[in-house]
Chain A
């Protein structure tokens, strides 16, 4: 299956620029997820790849061929839309076979294909229903089926799960993951939901404000976020950020702020030593904070609870640390003094430092 390359992709509506030069290479048969808040340009990028939006500047290469001037149908793509975009006047079978019928494929072949796809998606009983007679989840499946019957080299998904309720979304997400393992194709998927991005992607592309913030495997991005935006966007509950300053005391490197002073591990200290005296943001995920009353003072945060959210096995605590907010997680069975101060040990590997002004990781 072809390799897709974006080169200096720019999109302007009049004088308003929404994409500022997107460069990206997607490997063959890769599941790429564009993720970012609404208005970040992820859908626009997808629609430009699809050919539904014109390219202002730059070029899209599919298999080395520039395609930005080609019609969507010449690009060998299938797409699943956010609102499913089913043809309301056609039944499920007709919806799924529309492209094939336009290609004048023999009827027997179409029927065989439709029944095979319907089988895998559990739509066999609904082939003669119209979209209006289906539930949201079923419509979603039809939209998926319509893309699958095409046998295109590339599948585009534009927030396909965002119109489903939470339970169904989880279920469909799992099915999608299964499908992507079975069908080895290029998949490009747009979502604002970081959980979808983390669970489905081979490669995540985090976008914000019309720029790519960072791209890489979910693990890479989670472990080594390039900047504060990526760090805060991926992970649930989100990373905590505390303002502080890098200081050096008797050869050791500390991050010091209101109510905390954290000694950096050797590895981190090496990187931070050059920035001594600089204002930084200390980032640490709730999962890297462990309740430990006996932790060393320079390896922990001392916090007091503001709000406690019981969610079953876990309790999420919104706490105050020297005037700054910190979220921590705790097993609900651990007894704690709700009115006193709690000490949480910091996993030294989980410390992230960002320049305060540029927000870029040090």
Chain B
């Protein structure tokens, strides 16, 4: 009886064990390893045990590292620009395509294709298109009688180029989520707005967008988190150049570890990025919690109203 009881109480933990083990091995161990490594002066030729413990020196160095600060700034700029553009274009497209026209499901599928292509492939594709002489952009420009644009060799244009590639690939993500949100809007509220005399534009501004806001905020957060981690497309397109113009933090970390062989410092950078992303994620969860809390409060009030 007693043993059976004990076994019963243990059962849930047994079921959870595999997930817990995977989590520990695949997530907590590497993170712990990385946090530990960020306190070391460690080169790839050493084993981790042989590296010198330097305390917070790596972090202090980061503060004074102009190149890291520059890459951090580039990342923030990149994330802000691409997410803003993607939100506007994605939501705009969703608003345009939220209707019943023949072939709409086909169009929607086409629109989300870019998201399904591997980032490396996207990078390569765009690199060919940006090619100064044989790329489609410059060839077209020349055909029309314009000068070619130094897409990847000018620091301003290079930033524009990576932004365009990212917008091309990730707008569909926002498009598909906002389309889903739009289609689950209460039809009758929109009909009521129509009867109340709202034009199509007024329906968008006063009804659709406000009702979609919770989904849009979560979508924005997800995209922002993702944009901070971008690496492959930029690596293939510009490798962070020219100069540091497109060197985002992930790129900087990669180079610090690979080229400069400063594993400890790379780990410190990773941790810094991790903390920024963590703050964003916590912000998102807090927002969700707030929403849930408000919904619960509303229901409680409504229940009281009935009684």
Known: A102-B197, A135-B306. A129 touches B189 (CB 8 A): no
Smallest CB gap from A126: residue in B: B305
B196 smallest CB distance to A (angstroms): 4
- Tell me if B188 and A103 are in contact (CB < 8 A): no
Chain A residues 86-106 with CB under 8 Å of chain B are 86-89, 98-99, 102-103
In the complex, chain B residues whose CB is within 8 Å of the CB of A51: 194-195
Smallest CB gap from B189: residue in A: A85
- Tell me if A86 and B189 are in contact (CB < 8 A): yes
Does B60 have its Cβ within 8 Å of any Cβ on chain A?
no
Partner of B194 from the list A72, A86, A87, A130 (CB cut-off 8 Å) is A72
A72 CA to B191 CA in the complex, in Å? 9
Chain B residues 75-93 with CB under 8 Å of chain A are none
- Tell me if B197 and A133 are in contact (CB < 8 A): no
A311 CA to B211 CA in the complex, in Å? 48
- Tell me if B195 and A73 are in contact (CB < 8 A): yes
Smallest CB gap from B191: residue in A: A52
Smallest CB gap from A47: residue in B: B191
Does B63 have its Cβ within 8 Å of any Cβ on chain A?
no
What bracket does the count of chain B residues touching chain A fall in? 20 to 34
In the complex, chain B residues whose CB is within 8 Å of the CB of A81: 188, 191-192
In the complex, chain B residues whose CB is within 8 Å of the CB of A88: 186, 189, 211
B304 smallest CB distance to A (angstroms): 8
Residues of B contacting A: mostly: helix
Number of A-B contacts (CB under 8 A): 77
Chain B residues 83-130 with CB under 8 Å of chain A are none
In the complex, chain A residues whose CB is within 8 Å of the CB of B193: 87, 98
Does A319 have its Cβ within 8 Å of any Cβ on chain B?
no
A73 CA to B202 CA in the complex, in Å? 13
Does B295 have its Cβ within 8 Å of any Cβ on chain A?
yes
- Tell me if B188 and A132 are in contact (CB < 8 A): no
A88 CA to B193 CA in the complex, in Å? 12
- Tell me if A89 and B188 are in contact (CB < 8 A): no
- Tell me if A85 and B298 are in contact (CB < 8 A): no
Residues in chain A within 8 A of chain B (CB atoms):
50-52, 71-73, 77-79, 81-89, 98-99, 102-103, 129-130, 132-138, 146, 150
Could you jot down 15 A-B contacts, CB within 8 Å? A72-B194, A72-B195, A73-B194, A81-B188, A82-B188, A85-B186, A85-B188, A87-B207, A88-B211, A89-B211, A98-B198, A102-B197, A102-B202, A137-B306, A146-B192
Residues in chain B within 8 A of chain A (CB atoms):
186, 188-189, 191-198, 202, 206-207, 210-211, 213, 295, 298-299, 301-303, 305-306
